[in-house]
């Protein structure tokens, strides 16, 4: 095994795992959002080895902000505009999200990319988030895994362009989420395997080395997302060597989500 991989494994083992709940366009009312958040917080706020981040629809952030108690279970947003203010009908800016309690913001989720978001948009948003002192969770992932391994060049291009112009000095708050699109959401049929995921995580670190440097590439957390559940979470952490998860469906059930949090917290 290359020396840099060994160094990376030693450094990363010591960091807290980051588990992000992406509620997407759920639930339907503030009352349900409060109940779900309280259910997650009850467990999440007791865990030492896991940083939990709940990303509700932005309209619920202010109400949930009143319930956050401590740093182990915090809030995030699912998207932002890159400008601070101006004539952008329907958009929400970073300063507004920050005031409403968001500490993390997701960029480039595949469901936004499929609605037209480009790598260039993702790069602008990511830079703006980091400049504002928040954590940026940048999603990348191939649409399909072809036999000729063209998905590797796809990921390289997507990551390089999505991080284009992101200053090195802000990389401390950068997080990458590897989400193979074919494994994400209600239309997916299966998750990736932990064995394949570990190769992709190392490939992503290699690209990060080219974009930034080896040190940053070792330190940036790389999460996995796509059909994560209580059954596969353990093996993605242990065999897949991922630094945490971005979870959709399983984060809408507090009991199910807390089982994942507990499982990850107990891996040492």
d(CA 134, CA 79): 13
**Tokens at residue 78, please?**
């699912």
Cα 184 to chain centroid distance, Å, stands at 13
Report in angstroms how near the CB of residue 245 gets to ligand PGA at its nearest.
8
Indicate the residue among 46 and 188 with the shorter CB distance to ligand PGA: 188
* Residue number closest to ligand PGA, CB atom: 248
Three-state DSSP class for 104?
A: strand
| Contact call for residues 191 and 243 (beta carbons, < 8 A) | no
Assess contact for 65 and 54: CB atoms under 8 A: no
Name which of 101 and 226 has its Cβ closer to ligand PGA.
226
Distance CA 62, CA 101 (A): 7
The binding site for ligand PGA (CB under 6 A) comprises 22, 179, 184-185, 188, 225-228, 246-250
Question: Of 81, 109, 135, 142, which is the active-site residue?
Answer: 109
As measured in angstroms, the least distance from the Cβ of 30 to ligand PGA is: 22
Nearer to ligand PGA, 123 or 181 (CB): 181
Q: Is 109 a catalytic residue?
A: yes
Torsion sign across C-alpha atoms 191, 182, 174, 206:
positive
Q: Give least dist CB 213 to ligand PGA, A.
A: 28
**147 noted as active-site residue:** no
Catalytic residues: 109, 179
């Amino acid at each position: 095994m290359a020396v840099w991989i060994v160094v990376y494994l030693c450094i990363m083992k010591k960091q807290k795992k980051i588990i992000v709940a992406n509620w997407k366009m759920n639930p339907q009312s503030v009352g349900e959002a409060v109940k779900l958040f309280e259910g997650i917080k009850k467990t999440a706020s007791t865990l030492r080895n896991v940083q939990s981040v709940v990303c509700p629809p932005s309209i619920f952030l202010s109400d949930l902000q009143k319930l956050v108690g401590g740093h182990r279970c915090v809030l995030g947003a699912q998207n932002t505009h890159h400008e601070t203010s101006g004539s952008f009908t329907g958009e929400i800016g970073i300063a507004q999200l920050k005031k409403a309690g968001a500490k993390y913001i997701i960029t480039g989720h595949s469901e936004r990319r499929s609605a037209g978001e480009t790598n260039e948009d993702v790069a602008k948003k990511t830079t703006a988030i980091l400049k504002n002192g928040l954590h940026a969770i940048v999603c990348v992932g191939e649409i399909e895994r072809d036999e000729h391994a063209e998905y590797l060049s796809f990921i390289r291009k997507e990551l390089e362009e999505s991080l284009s112009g992101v200053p090195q000095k802000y990389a401390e708050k950068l997080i990458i989420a590897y989400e193979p699109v074919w494994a994400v959401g209600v239309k997916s049929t299966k998750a990736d395997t932990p064995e394949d995921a570990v190769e992709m995580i190392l490939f992503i670190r290699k690209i990060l080395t080219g974009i930034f440097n080896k040190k940053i590439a070792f330190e940036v957390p790389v999460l996995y997302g796509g059909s994560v559940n209580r059954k596969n979470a353990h093996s993605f952490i242990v065999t897949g060597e991922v630094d945490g998860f971005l979870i959709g469906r399983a984060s809408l059930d507090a009991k199910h989500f807390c089982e994942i949090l507990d499982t990850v917290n107990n891996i040492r």
